[in-house]
Structure 1
Amino acid sequence: MTLIGLPFEVIEAPTWHGEAEAAKVAAINPLKQIPALVTPDGETITESAAILIWLADRHPAARLAPAIDDPARAQFLRWMTFIPASIYSLYWISDAPARLVGDDEALQAMAKAAIKDRIVDCWRMMDSQITPGRYLLGEELTVLDLYVTVLSRWGPRRVRFYEAAPKMSEVVKRVDADPRLEAFWAERFPLFDGWERLGAAGVNND
């Protein structure tokens, strides 16, 4: 929305901070998960990939997605679907492994380690299947670049992402440095010395 030039309001609701925060989201998304987008018409859109694709298609002048008849459209949809199906969904477990393995701390540690390795494997596979230009799909920035840039900041952090996905690493660094996003990054994902190992929040909770 920053790149498109749309006015928007962010309602903070870190659902992982307890039921009070989750309750803020429940009326919009019964799964109590974020992100969720409410349009000016009152329509609710959940699922991060759906939100990004909808925004890009709704505002084609911003050129944030290949058009339907563009040869790059198939790969755009492929990777926009791959990321939430193969990577993003794993954080539901890694953020709280007790959801699946119970209170055994050893099992929780094993689950988190296995998930981190799986995420790295997915990034490695994606990197092997694409031939970026300045950006992942060629010479123009798309919401796919934004999606990968943000998720690559999560566990197991950028250091392992750089090792697993050298081609994509050049792209995400370019997106990090995009002057149009400078104010956004400063507010939402502030950077600091060592952030690539610790993450944007300044903690190593991957």
Structure 2
Amino acid sequence: MNTAQPQLTLYGAQASGSIAVEAALTLLGIPYALVKGATWAEEAARDRVAPVNPMRQIPTLVLPDGEVMTESAAILIYLADLHPEARLAPAPGDARRTQFLRWMVYVSSAIYSLHWIKPDVQRIGAPPGARESVVNAVHDRIAFCWANMDKQVAPGRYLLGDELTVLDLYVTVVSRFGPWRERFYQAAPRMTPVVQRVDAEPQLQAFWPERFPPD
């Protein structure tokens, strides 16, 4: 067990995008201080993260020297590259690296980013009364994007072959957001066994129920 004092501070919340980062830190055995708070729902949580991230969003990671990282995909790539011995990302020069970067950014930009709309549809100019129809349209778009990715990947045990990477962690977490796993399974049958395998990852069996409880 790693008993070192945390040198990283992560702002995050249960069942949020920070969970993929927390899962990576867990697999890496890196201690971290967690500042909890659902920024999409709690003004106090937004105020806590504001001094280090003016966007007042999570995940936000503060490095030992005080440098701040935001954007879940960037944090995951950074952590994996910082610890190549863990093999949580293809190394530069690895034939899988191109698709790894492609799909990490795709999940972030084409899927995860859409969830920003749902708490307040006025962010895209829609009236509050249109929230249900807007959210339904967002969920349809997310399902389409999962299906598009599913058609273009050729998983082994994991998305890039036989080794678990932070891409698998990212997809496993984001696929549990709305429109939720049942629809993900319908849209992405080739990726379904992968996320189920990550759900069952022995090193994360204590982590998942605490930080992202099953529906």
2:46 and 2:85 mapped to 1: Cα distance? 35
Distance 1:34 1:80 in 2: 17
Deviations 1:74-131 (A, max 9, x none): 00000000011101110110222132244441x2221111100000000000000000
Aligned to 2:168: 145
Q: Is the 8 A contact 1:116 1:156 kept in 2?
A: yes
Question: Which of these residues, 27, 42, 49, is aligned with residue 18 of structure 1?
Answer: 42
Matched, 1:127 2:150: yes
Q: Alignment RMSD, CA only?
A: 1.0
More strand by share: 2
Provide the secondary structure at the position in 1 that maps to 2:117: helix
- Match of 2:183? 160
The residue that corresponds to 1:3 in the other structure is 27
**1:35 CA displacement:** 0.2
| 1:186 and 2:201 matched | no
Partner Cα distance (1:168, 1:177) in 2: 15
Match of 1:173 in 2: 196
The equivalent position to 1:91 in structure 2, one of 115, 119, 132, is 115
Partner of 1:118: 141
What is the CA–CA distance in structure 1 between the aligned matches of 2:188 and 2:46, rounded to whole Å?
34
- Alignment partner, residue 201 of structure 1: none
Aligned mates of 2:33, 2:202 — CA distance in 1: 22
Q: Residue type of the partner of 1:41?
A: D
Please give the alpha-carbon distance, in whole angstroms, between the structure 1 residues aligned to 2:165 and 2:126: 40
**One-letter amino acid of the structure 1 residue matched with residue 192 of structure 2:** S
> What amino acid does structure 1 have at the position aligned with 2:146?
W
- Percent of paired sites with the same residue: 57
Matched residue of 2:61: which SS?
strand
- For the 8 Å contact 2:154–2:160, the answer to whether it is kept is yes
Counterpart residue number, 2:88: 64
Aligned position for 1:47 = 71
Cα distance, 1:143 vs structure 2: 0.1
Whether 2:87 is the aligned partner of 1:31: answer no
TM-score by length of 2: 0.86
Indicate the SS of the match to 2:157: coil
Cα contact 1:101–1:108 (8 A) shared by 2: no
Distance of aligned partners of 1:58 and 1:101 in 2 relative to their CA distance in 1, 3 Å threshold: same
Residue type of the partner of 1:38?
V
In 2: Cα distance, 1:37 partner to 1:18 partner:
19
Residue identity in the other structure for 1:86: A
Letter in 2 for 1:22: R
Aligned length: 191
Higher relative contact order (CA 8 A, sep 6+): 2
Q: Any gaps of 5 or more consecutive residues in structure 2?
A: 1-24
Confirm or deny: 8 A CA contact 1:49 1:84 kept in the other structure. yes
Q: Which runs of 5+ in 1 are unaligned?
A: 196-206
Which AA in structure 1 matches 2:180? R
Where do 4+ consecutive residues of structure 1 move more than 4 Å? none
In the alignment, the residues of structure 2 paired with residue 104 and residue 68 of structure 1 have an alpha-carbon distance, to the nearest angstrom, of 46
Q: Deviations over 1:126-170 (max 9, x none)?
A: 000000000000000000000000000100000000000001000
Q: Which moved more, 1:134-143 or 1:89-98?
A: 89-98
| Amino acid in structure 2 at the alignment position of 1:34 | I
